Amino acid sequence: MTNNIAVIGCGYWGKNLVRNFAGLGVLHTICDSDAEKLEHLKSLYPEVNTEIDYRRVLADQDIRGVAIATPAASHYPAAKEALLSDKDVFVEKPFTTSSKNAQELVELSAKKQRILMVGHLLLYHPAVQMLKRYIQSGELGEIYYLYSTRVNLGQIRQDENALWRLVPHDIAMFIYLLEESPVIISAQGSSYLQPDFVDVVFVTLRLGRALAHIHASWLDPHKIRQLTVVGSKKMAVFDDMEPEYKLQIYDKGVISNTLLTRSAEVLFPQVKLTEPLLLECQEFITCMEERRGPLSDAKLGLEVVEALEVAHKSM
């Protein structure tokens, strides 16, 4: 594949997309409104073009795909312009800030026959993919409930609250793992540091028969990135802060037709620790080449935005 992808927005997260697409040999242009950022990135990737005006990127016929990592409020207009310019589009989460806009982009991408991928990074994490195989195989049994904790001290945003910034990761994982859509959603949150910007949020969802819960905050003494899945046969923990054993399978449960508990060994499956962002970028490239839909497609992005809207209203 020739170098025909541009990254639009090269700040906190965008620079990681630049690094990966450059490493994969497909980066054509780096675009950002900050000239100093561009100058720094040009020193790192001298062979790559730089551009301040993203509309010039969209007008460049040599560029076939764009990755959008601008602030969330600009995702919808930037992605829409890119699709109208016949570009394949990768847009970071949250997909958009309204389900109406997300639905419009889903329909537009289908009409234009363009790839539209949303950056739900954790779906590409090798441990999450292995966890899904455990669930699909029935080894965990019926999934009773699952819960995630995503907390840290910082990075505190002034353009998104903790719900829209942190929770999309977990809602996307729940939908992916269970292959169910949220049907009941409630949330509570509070603003402590800035008026109208929620710092901590607790979200409860139901997906099919399974109950799910999310605790997300950027105002916490601990850095935790953990998902627990409780099944009728076994239980599993995905701990992204664990340096070696990202996935743990607990052979624990309640003996069928009794109220007696059982506890056996804990398994630590060997997970090939490839950077999830690299796998995500490779997926976008492959989808462009093969003209197929991505794992984290726009319909999933729409479902996540719909769930966020309900949670926000509940809050």
Nearest to 217 by CA among 193, 203, 201: 201
313 in a structural domain: no
Distance, CA of 212 to CA of 100 (rounded, Å):
25
Cis check: omega of the bond before 155, within 30 degrees of 0: yes
| 3-state DSSP assignment of residue 105 | helix
Q: 134 lies in a domain? A: yes
Q: 89 and 151: one domain?
A: no
pLDDT in tens, the chain (315 residues): 578 999 999 998 999 999 999 999 999 999 999 999 999 999 999 999 999 999 999 999 999 999 999 999 999 999 999 999 999 999 999 999 999 999 999 999 999 999 999 999 999 999 999 999 999 999 999 999 999 999 999 888 888 899 999 999 999 999 999 999 999 999 999 999 999 899 999 999 999 999 999 999 999 999 999 999 999 999 999 999 999 999 999 998 888 888 888 888 999 999 999 999 999 999 999 999 999 999 999 999 999 999 999 999 999
The answer to whether residues 253 and 172 belong to one domain is yes
CB 239 within 8 A of CB 134: no
Please tell me whether residues 67 and 12 are part of one structural domain.
yes
Tokens of 86: 């016949």
Let me know the angle formed at the C-alpha of 167 by 164 and 235, rounded to the nearest 5 degrees. Answer: 175
Q: Is residue 304 part of a domain?
A: no
Same-domain check for residues 249 and 283: no
Query: What CATH number has the domain bearing residue 198?
Result: 3.30.360.10
* Same domain membership, residue 253 and residue 264: yes
**What is the per-residue DSSP string for 135-204?**
HHHTTT-SEEEEEEEEEEE-PPPSSS-HHHHHHHHHHHHHHHHHT--EEEEEEEEE-SSBTTB-SEEEEE
Same domain for 145 and 58, yes or no, is no
Token pair, residue 231, equals: 């099944």
Task: Provide the domain limits for residue 174.
Answer: 123-274
Distance, CA of 196 to CA of 26 (rounded, Å) = 41
Q: H or E element: which one contains 275?
A: none
Question: Which residues, including other chains, have CB under 8 Å from residue 267's CB and lie 6 or more apart?
Answer: 248, 249, 250, 251
Residues 153 and 269 grouped into a single domain: yes
Cα angle 173-283-24, degrees, rounded to a multiple of 5: 130
> Are both 167 and 101 inside the same structural domain?
no
3-state percent helix, strand, coil for the chain, nearest multiple of 5: 35, 30, 30
> Are 130 and 261 contained in the same domain?
yes
Partners of 96 in the β-ladder = none
238 and 191 in a common domain: yes
Query: Does residue 254 sit within a domain?
Result: yes
| CA atoms within 13 A of residue 230's CA, in its CB half-sphere | 12
Q: Which of 83, 168, 175 is nearest to 120 (CA)?
A: 168
Q: What is the CATH number of the domain that holds 43?
A: 3.40.50.720
Could you tell me if 84 and 178 lie in one domain? no
Is 43 found in the same domain as 95?
Answer: yes
Give the pLDDT of residue 154: 85
Is 94 within 8 Å of 304 (Cβ atoms)?
A: yes
Q: How many domains does the chain have?
A: 2
Give the model's pLDDT for residue 118. 98
- What pLDDT is attached to residue 1? 59
